[in-house]
Amino acid sequence: MSNIKAVQPEQITVLLPDMFQTFLKQAPEVNPHYEAVKVESEEALGRFCAFGPKMKKKINKCDFSYFCAIAAPHASRSRFRTLCDWGNWVFPYDDSKLNHLSMPAVT
Q: What is the pLDDT of residues 53-104, one digit of tens each?
A: 998 998 899 899 999 999 999 999 999 999 999 998 887 766 555 555 455 5
Q: Tell me if 84 sits within 8 A of 41, measured CB to CB.
A: yes
The closest alpha carbon to 103, from 64, 61, 60, 45, belongs to 45
Task: Give the pLDDT score at 22.
Answer: 59
Longest dimension (CA), the chain: 82
Question: Of 102, 7, 99, which is closest to residue 49 (Cα–Cα)?
Answer: 102
Domain map (residue ranges) of the chain: 34-99
Distance CA 46, CA 56 (A): 6
Angle at 56 between CA 24 and CA 105, to 5 degrees: 115
Split at pLDDT 50, 70, 90, the class of 34 is very high
11: confidence class by pLDDT, cuts 50, 70, 90: confident
The overall pTM is greater than 0.85: no
